[in-house]
């Protein structure tokens, strides 16, 4: 029986070529260099930071690192022994920012009508504090909803994110469902998109949709990034469709969905990442 020569002509060697070995060596050196650049000897293991942020088990987070899907301070890290400072270093997974500071809080609240958007009301009206009594952190709301408007309100202790979400330059869209007195004229959407002159200047919507209509009443959806006081109510008043009920259903990428009225929930890691991505964090 004749055995083939593993070095003979036509035999495909399983050993990597010199070029492949050289490339693997360069990649390993780069990965080690990146890990060394961000490594904090007294820090927390990267896979633990990821697991604590809600990205899965330690084993699953180790796989994220091994698959080169994790960046620390802009450097891709694949070394499982890497330690970081979660308070000061930024972490991205698949290019999405991950919140690693353990004291950060991000909440979604479905505000009922009659609740004022403040942590303490001197007039004794129902306020946000009644729904956040069990939270030890010092929290604040992102923007506000007027007392009679219902729906999605974001609450956090992350000042930088809050400031960006409410700053006009980032143009974060908010979606509202409004029950109005009808009928709604055919040109209302065009007028609202073009802009309406209010007492504090021109305001316009990004989009307008008639959802449903019955005699004397209609349901409409508006999307706008304006943040002026009672802006939706004032716009609809100006076009002859006063609001009977108003609900905010979306704040940027965050949706109210099936969240019950009066309930507070923690935002998921992917929702927080999408918020941060929307404002360039």
DSSP codes of every residue in 73-98: TTEE---TT-EE-TTT--EEETTEEE
Given a cut of 60, is residue 13 above it in pLDDT? Answer: no
Dump pLDDT digits (tens) for 196-228.
999 989 999 999 999 999 999 999 999 999 878
Nearest CA-CA partner of 110 in 270, 247, 272: 247
Given a cut of 50, is residue 235 above it in pLDDT? Answer: yes
Q: What is the pLDDT of residue 232?
A: 95
Q: Which sequence spans correspond to the domains of the chain?
A: 29-97, 106-278
Residue-wise DSSP of 13-60: -SSPPHHHHHHHHHHHHHHHHHHHHH--TTSEEHHHHHHHTTS--HHH
State in words which class domain 106-278 has.
Answer: alpha beta
d(CA 64, CA 50): 9
Calculate mean pLDDT across residues 167-188: 93
| Cis peptide, bond prior to residue 183, ω within 30 of zero | yes
- In this structure, of 16-20, 168-172, 189-193, the range with the lowest mean pLDDT score is 16-20
Q: What is the pLDDT of residue 269?
A: 87
Q: What is the pLDDT of residue 136?
A: 86
Q: Are 232 and 246 in contact (CB under 8 A)?
A: yes
Catalytic one of 52, 73, 121, 146: 146
Given a cut of 60, is residue 24 above it in pLDDT? Answer: no
3.90.245.10, 3.40.50.620, 3.10.290.10, 3.40.50.300: which CATH number matches 29-97?
3.10.290.10
Given a cut of 70, is residue 34 above it in pLDDT? Answer: no
The domains spanning 29-97 and 106-278 adopt the same CATH topology: no
The confidence band for 173, taking pLDDT boundaries of 50, 70 and 90, is very high
Calculate mean pLDDT across residues 216-241: 93
Given a cut of 50, is residue 11 above it in pLDDT? Answer: no
d(CA 79, CA 92): 15
Q: What is the DSSP letter of 278?
A: H
The confidence band for 80, taking pLDDT boundaries of 50, 70 and 90, is confident
Q: What is the pLDDT of residue 254?
A: 96
Judge whether 266 counts as a catalytic residue: no
Dump pLDDT digits (tens) for 254-280.
999 899 999 999 999 889 999 999 998
Residue 155 pairs in a beta bridge with: 107, 141
Q: What is the pLDDT of residue 35?
A: 58
Dump pLDDT digits (tens) for 110-164.
999 999 998 888 888 899 999 998 888 889 899 889 999 999 999 999 988 999 9
Given a cut of 80, is residue 104 above it in pLDDT? Answer: yes
Given a cut of 70, is residue 20 above it in pLDDT? Answer: no
Nearest CA-CA partner of 178 in 226, 131, 237: 237
- pLDDT above 90 coverage of the chain, percent: 59
Q: What is the pLDDT of residue 45?
A: 92
């Amino acid at each position: 029986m004749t055995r083939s020569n593993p070095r003979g002509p036509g035999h495909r060697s399983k050993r990597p070529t010199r070029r492949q070995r050289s490339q693997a060596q360069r990649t390993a050196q780069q990965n080690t260099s990146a890990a060394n650049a961000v490594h904090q000897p007294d820090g927390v293991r990267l896979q633990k930071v990821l697991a604590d942020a809600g990205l899965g088990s330690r084993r699953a987070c180790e796989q994220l690192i091994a698959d080169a899907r994790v960046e620390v301070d802009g450097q891709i890290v694949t070394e499982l022994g890497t330690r970081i400072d979660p308070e000061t270093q930024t972490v991205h997974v698949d290019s999405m920012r991950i919140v690693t500071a353990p004291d950060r809080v991000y909440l979604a609240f479905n505000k009922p009508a009659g609740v004022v958007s403040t942590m303490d009301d001197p007039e004794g009206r129902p306020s946000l504090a009644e729904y956040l009594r069990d939270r030890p952190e010092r929290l604040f709301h992102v923007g506000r909803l007027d007392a009679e408007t219902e729906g999605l309100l974001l609450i956090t202790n992350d000042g930088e994110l809050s400031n960006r979400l409410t700053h006009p330059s980032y143009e974060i869209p908010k979606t509202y469902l409004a029950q109005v007195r009808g009928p709604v004229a055919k040109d209302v959407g065009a007028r609202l998109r073009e802009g309406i002159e209010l007492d504090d200047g021109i305001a316009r919507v990004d989009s307008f949709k008639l959802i449903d209509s019955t005699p004397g009443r209609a349901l409409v959806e508006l999307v706008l990034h304006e943040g002026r006081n009672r802006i939706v109510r004032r716009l609809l008043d100006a076009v002859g469709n006063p609001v009977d009920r108003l609900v905010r259903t979306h704040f940027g990428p965050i949706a109210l969905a099936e969240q019950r009225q009066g309930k507070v929930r923690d935002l998921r890691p992917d929702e927080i990442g999408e918020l941060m991505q929307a404002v360039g964090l």
